Amino acid sequence: MRSKIVAGNWKMNKTLNESKELANELKTVVSGLTLENTRVIVAPTFVNLTGVSETVEGSVIEVAAQNMHQAESGAYTGEISGEMLKGIGLNSVILGHSERRAYFGEDDALLASKVDAALKNNLEVIFCFGEELEDRKSGNHFNVVGSQVKNGLFHLEASAWKNIVLAYEPVWAIGTGETASAEQAQEMHAFIRSIVEKQYDSGIADSVSILYGGSVKPANAEEIFSKPDVDGGLIGGAALKSEDFGAIIKAI
Ligand code: PEP
């Protein structure tokens, strides 16, 4: 059975103290829940990773990074390597977020190399992709998503897929308050699973968790999560408040 996952991407929000406070509140929230086959992940900014990891120690909450550099080490001022993330005890990294693609020029080829570097360092990859509004309006959304998944991941050997989580995040729904309908999410997730099956096999397609991201909030989480191919969510804005994130965890 594939895992259900609720992951919070805190982006460039919260100081160290604020991050620890939120992590502590979430620790209390999850301690009152029975989470069967469900993972809870938070992704604070780089400088707060250690503080948050220490805060959630002993709870089920996992900590992930929001990005990493593709090189092992070297003259890349301001960057962070996979080995460094592993070195502070992390096991997961988000790659390919639409903000990284749009504002930092991360294209498919670069992301494929980041995926390789992460896997080489035994980091699980939460790989994000999703179409823009024009793509959906013009009916090109399956092509766009299909090529992002293929170009970023289909060079991998089958055995690598146990460390891959997919996150479908339509760009038009991120931080806009506009959510894909549960049906739109289901349709795309089923499509993604079908192309993974075609490239690999049904075992991999059935076992990879596919998260939906884009304005998930307490009011819509349950409906979106009820769809058979939606295995949880990658949450932005609503991950910044423990009441909201807690309600979304409960929805799964
Ligand atoms: C995100 O950035 O990954 C995201 C889904 O953001 P939001 O929930 O705010 O739309």
Domain, as residue range, for 96? 4-251
Closest to 167 in 3D by CA, of 82, 241, 98: 98
Measured distance CA(82)–CA(76) in Å, rounded: 13
Report yes or no for ipTM above 0.90: yes
Q: How far is the CA of 171 from the centre of ligand 1 (A)?
A: 9
Q: Is the CB of 43 under 6 A from ligand 1?
A: no
The total number of structural domains that make up the chain: 1
Closest to 220 in 3D by CA, of 188, 191, 184: 184
Q: Is the CB of 82 under 6 A from ligand 1?
A: no
pLDDT in tens, the chain (252 residues): 899 999 999 999 999 999 999 999 999 999 989 998 999 999 999 999 999 999 999 999 999 999 999 999 999 999 999 999 999 999 999 999 999 999 999 999 999 999 999 999 999 999 999 999 999 999 999 999 999 999 999 999 999 999 999 999 999 998 887 888 999 999 999 999 999 999 999 999 999 999 999 999 999 999 999 999 999 999 999 999 999 999 999 999
Measured distance CA(67)–CA(80) in Å, rounded: 8
- Tell me how far the alpha carbon of residue 57 is from its chain's centroid: 21
Summarize the annotated binding site for substrate as residue ranges: 9-11, 175, 215, 236-237
Q: In this structure, what CATH number is given to the domain that contains residue 185?
A: 3.20.20.70
Q: Is the pTM of this model over 0.95?
A: yes
Q: How far is the CA of 201 from the centre of ligand 1 (A)?
A: 30
Most distant CA atoms of the chain, gap in Å: 48
